[in-house]
Amino acid sequence: MNTDDLPVLSIELLKASIEELLASYSVRILAFFAMPNKDLENTEKPFHLIAILLDASTRTLLGAAAEVGTRYTAFTPLIPALHLFEREIAEQYNITPEGHPWLKPVRSQNMTDADDAAQEANTENPADSEAAKFFRLSGKATHEVAVGPVHAGVIEPGHFRFQCLGEDVHHLEIALGYQHRGIEAMLKGGPDLRSLHYAETVSGDTTIASVSNYAAIIEALSDTTPSGESLLLRNILLELERIVNHAGDIGALAGDVAYLPTSSYCGRIRGEYLNMTAEVAGNRFGRNVIIPGGMRTGLSSEKAEKLLNWLYKTKYELDVALDIMLDEPTALDRFEGLGTITEFDARTIGAVGVAARAAGLDIDARFDLPPAGEDTAEQLFPFSSSPIPACSGDVISRIKIRRHEIENSHAWLFEVLKNAIEKPFTNIDPPKTSGKLAPDSFAVAVTEAWRGELVHVVFTDEAGRFKHYKIIDPSFRNWFALALSLREAQISDFPICNKSFNLSYCGHDL
Amino acid sequence: MWYICFFLSLLLAPLVPGIINKTKAFYAGRYGPRLLQRYYDIVKLLKKGTVRSTTSTWVLALAPSISLAATLTAALFMPFAVYKSPVSFEGDIIVFFYLLAAGRVALIFGALDTGSAFEGMGASREAQFSALCESIVFGVIAFIILLTGRLSLSTSLIGLDFTAWSQTGTSLALVAVAFFAALLAENSRVPFDDPETHLELTMIHEAMVLDNSGPDFAFIQYASALKLWLMISFIVLLILPLKATSPIVSGLLFFGGVFVISVIIGIVESVIARFRLLKIPQVFAGALALTLIAIMIYMVFEI
């Protein structure tokens, strides 16, 4: 869409509108960020605050902007789901959301993104050192446990600070931002040869969702329509990615409670699904296969048939591996009632994806925002064939939701692959277009990645280059949910809780 | 003969974790680490230098040696097969278990000395659970003393033969189950602890020894393998009526029994998940109840 079509409201009106829209439970926030505006550079309000919302009842995206200076009244007290977004805004552009309860830096004190003139002009960093400190529990019997950023396992850097009374955790604070990747900054000025690869590496286990979003952005901005077969193939890969991670995570959860059989089987079975991805895409994590406008490779009937049989066989093995764990009382005892997030909390903090669904929120971008206008549209997303299991927001609920999604993805993949045997995907080349992006426009892409909805928002400048590339990884929304789920839990149960979310560090440390 | 068995036990002790891991690997459909892996680990560690945190004192430096020394001394009181320990005396059964406890206390002090949050947590858990576990062990000892009227490991354990099983089988079986639970807990095995985990926050024993390295850690590894061997020996002597066989057969049965119990531990670890920390005291209470019931059965029906 053209940038001029984005309504610019006053800051008060923007806040009131978001608040009013959120009151109807079908609306949720997708993105909220600040963007420097060249036209307004010398005015008192050189930034635009951009809010993108999704109305699931009408399946529409809502967007609005507001001009702000270096201070505005924080939205967070009224709309807690925005708390992390506002912290990010404060950190990146030194804009102070006044009245924000907790302006702790999100990623670091001095973000690499601070190359803007506005930042230099305003040297007073709102993320002051007092706010940067960890909350502490005082008292003789309390103790503090610090974990990370260097961990015992091969995982990414993140610091966890537990305030404990004996074995009970009263508060967990998660500090991320050790990676300083600067992906959003590097994407500025694109698209160029590297942009696609940056998009692929946003978070390695979410490659397909991320690059689908990137492709959708380029397609929308250059008015290119990829073939239905290309879109279908992207979704096949996306569902494989979902199964890979769900199966791997449930296996890892089994490992964390020392339940060996499921742990080992799932480890191997995850590899089977990765290899299926490689069979289609030529890469186990689906890199280098999705390109703007189409795909690099199609799907022949032989491959579809091979994949179908492979899927049937592996699905059976996965069922056995999951059933033995879900029938094992000692394993269930570890998962039940642990790490609970209530529906109210999940909605209030704006959790997304598996975590939100496990708390009882019915949000899923695959259903809330299906692709429109294609012949294959109803085929393009895996519709829910079985009812969502009853959930109470604890670890076992997240396992059940993941299992449910594994079932649904398989059911859908079986259908699509059966059709693909009859009618192989050959029409996958990008249509010939100029490839030029529309100037002064913006596009929003939303994909339900396996963790939750992944949102890319892109603005182009007058030459059709990326002026602002904003990525909101589902992990960014859900890390706070993890912290909440640990309240009053046992510190020894943290790894299980953590694994049930399995959030991305690099997706957060963009 | 006792000396041969004693040195054979010292030599074979690190094999037990290898057998357990092989069993677990078999259940998981993997090859698993080599049977002799623990030997390689110990040799590797002995060759390395020791690194100690600058905040620690001589307590940490001494802890592994004390732990190893205590375990080795405890081994001296252990009868093997039908051979009595040369240093046994009436009452050494108490000395035996408190020497094992002394080894652990040394490690707990060492862990507290590092000042690390993880080690403090591990030490606290280890102290809490071993205090509870002690009640089971002493329930078992009380039963054995009632059964044999002897207070020494050598005389009481070797005294058991077929008549023990035929007359007091029920209570003996209950005691064996309770002691097996204590064995798993004392040696930080699943379902009480997870020796394989890399998650510091869930560890009990492993968290305590995070700061040990090099030869110190080799000592700890060897001492824990030996302790496992001794407690398995205890249960083998308790349930196998070795006295009824010839000396050579009894020796073979004894070592065979130790390896069979190791396999059983491996199987237990493969088929159940680890308990919640909060549940562990309840399991201990259950095991203690078993020993008390055994004593009651013995005193009411079998005496």
Q: Does B128 touch chain A if contact means CB atoms closer than 8 Å? A: no
How far apart CA A188 and CA A193 sit, in angstroms, is: 13
Q: What is the mean pLDDT of residues B114-124?
A: 90
Nearest chain A alpha carbon to B28: A261
Which B residues 36-95 touch A at CB under 8 Å? none
How far apart CA A260 and CA A264 sit, in angstroms, is: 6
pLDDT higher for A210 or B149?
A210
Nearest CB to B201 within list A144, A259, A492: A492
How far apart CA B56 and CA B37 sit, in angstroms, is: 30
ipTM > 0.85? yes
Place of tokens 């955790």: A169
How far apart CA A41 and CA A20 sit, in angstroms, is: 31
Q: Alpha helices, DSSP H only, in A369-427?
A: 395-422
Element (H, E) at B248: helix B247-271
Tokens standing for residue A56:
């699931």
B29 and A265: CB-CB below 8 Å? yes
Q: Does A436 touch chain B if contact means CB atoms closer than 8 Å? A: no
| Residue A139 to chain B, least CA–CA distance (Å) | 16
Which B residues 261-300 touch A at CB under 8 Å? 269-279
| Residue B282 to chain A, least CA–CA distance (Å) | 14
> Contact, A167 vs B207, CB < 8 A?
no
Nearest chain A alpha carbon to B31: A264
Which B residues 176-205 touch A at CB under 8 Å? 190-191, 194, 196-202
Q: Which chain A residues contact residue B199 at CB under 8 A? A: 152-153, 256, 495
Q: Which chain B residues contact residue A258 at CB under 8 A? A: 190-191, 194, 196-197, 269, 273-274
Q: Does A497 touch chain B if contact means CB atoms closer than 8 Å? A: no
Model pLDDT, residue A121: 45
A227-244 b/e (C-beta count within 10 Å ≥ 16 → b) = bbbbbbbbbbbbbbbbbb
CATH number of the domain located at residue range(s) A3-132 in this protein: 3.30.460.80
Per domain, the residue ranges of chain A are 3-132, 142-175, 183-501
| Residue A141 to chain B, least CA–CA distance (Å) | 13
> Contact, A335 vs A496, CB < 8 A?
yes
Nearest CB to B197 within list A258, A333, A334: A258
| pTM for this entry | 0.91
Best B31, B269, B274 member to test A by mutation, with max A CBs in 10 Å, is B274
Q: What is the DSSP letter of A437?
A: P
Model pLDDT, residue B248: 86
Residue A79 phi, psi dihedral angles, 5° rounding = -125, 85
Tokens standing for residue A369:
């925002």
Please check the confidence at residue B58 and state whether its pLDDT lies above 90: yes
Q: Which chain B residues contact residue A497 at CB under 8 A? A: none
Any idea what the Cα angle at residue B178 is, between residues B177 and B179, rounded to 5°?
90
Query: Chains A, B: CB contacts under 8 A, how many?
Result: 84
Model pLDDT, residue B201: 87
One pLDDT digit (tens) per residue for chain A, 510 residues? 677 778 888 888 899 999 989 888 889 999 999 998 877 777 788 898 999 999 988 888 899 999 888 888 999 999 999 999 999 998 888 888 988 888 888 887 544 444 444 444 444 554 455 667 788 888 888 989 998 788 877 888 999 999 999 889 999 999 888 888 889 989 998 788 889 999 999 998 999 999 999 999 999 998 888 888 888 899 999 999 999 999 999 999 999 999 988 999 999 999 999 999 999 999 999 999 999 988 999 899 999 999 999 999 999 999 999 999 999 999 999 999 899 999 999 999 999 999 999 998 888 888 787 765 454 445 555 555 556 777 889 999 999 999 999 998 998 899 889 988 988 888 888 887 777 889 989 999 999 999 999 999 999 998 889 999 999 999 999 999 999 999 889 999 999 999 999 999 999 988
Nearest CB to B27 within list A145, A146, A261: A261
CATH superfamily of A183-501: Cytochrome-c3 Hydrogenase, chain B (1.10.645.10)
Which B residues 106-125 touch A at CB under 8 Å? 117-118, 120-121
Torsion over CA of A50, A54, A59 and A61, rounded to 10 degrees?
0
How far apart CA B211 and CA B56 sit, in angstroms, is: 10
Model pLDDT, residue A114: 45
Strand (E) positions, B148-241?
none
Nearest CB to A260 within list B24, B117, B201: B24
> Contact, A318 vs A269, CB < 8 A?
yes
Q: What percent of chain B has pLDDT over 70?
A: 100
Model pLDDT, residue A367: 79
| Residue A329 to chain B, least CA–CA distance (Å) | 8
